[in-house]
Amino acid sequence: MSKEAEWIPLESNPDVMNAFLRELGLTKGYSIHDVFGTDPELLSMVPRPVLGLILLFPITSAENTAKISTVVPSSNESDKVYFMKQKISNACGTIALIHLTANNPALKYDDSSTLGKFICSTSCLDPEARGTALACDVDFRTKHEKISQQGQTAPPSSEEAQNVDLHFVAIVPAEGKIWELDGRKEGPVCHGNTTPDTFLEDGIKVCQAFMQANPNENRFTIVALAKDFD
């Protein structure tokens, strides 16, 4: 990732992410929600069904995550998962949101919206080309820059943005399996089987594996893409 291809980091904040998704063209019905903890009573507060998770974790633990038990997917399985490479520094939050929406047919968005046009135009591309397409998408970048100015914390300076040590990954269900989608990796990582009824609990186990790989860190946050509250 070149210095020129650098965005302002997205805040791990449901209000910010929801505003971004609506700006991109996602219709109401599903929203990003906080996951306040991994205990069953806290998970019970998350509305169902859950269509995906986003985990924010410190990059200092990246080397340890390779030790997490995973299943090597067949090419037929992984080819059915929408995955894109990260070509832009600090765009991991936006890429995680794209991974969530592109892999969930239950979500509705206008085909003429920023999100609709991007997913439609890149659906037949390979992961490298999808990453390049995002880096060249002026509309997406403009909306990202606008929303990254919002949130509870001031956006980092250009110098600070070069030293961000937190990273977003998406965890999604597809083809009856649970997938870790990290644009820095070569492809989707399979973490075994799941069902719509058990996905939240199964996905949390993947998040816990990241946490257990670096027990001295507490800079982890989890949000869920789930039904709107009634």
3-state secondary structure of 12: coil
Asked if residues 190 and 21 have their Cβ atoms less than 8 Å apart, the reply is no
- Of 33, 92, 99, 207, which is the active-site residue? 92
Cα–Cα dist 116/214, whole Å = 37
Compute φ and ψ for 180, nearest 5 degrees.
-95, 120
Tokens describing residue 115 = 């999100």
Asked if residues 229 and 28 have their Cβ atoms less than 8 Å apart, the reply is no
- β-strand partners of 31: 226
The widest CA-to-CA distance across the chain, in whole angstroms, is 46
- Of 33, 99, 144, 167, which is the active-site residue? 167
Active site residue 120: no
Active site residue 167: yes
41-65 burial, b for 16+ CB within 10 Å, e for fewer? Answer: eebeebeeebbbbbbbbbeebbeeb
Q: Could you give the residue numbers annotated as active site?
A: 92, 167
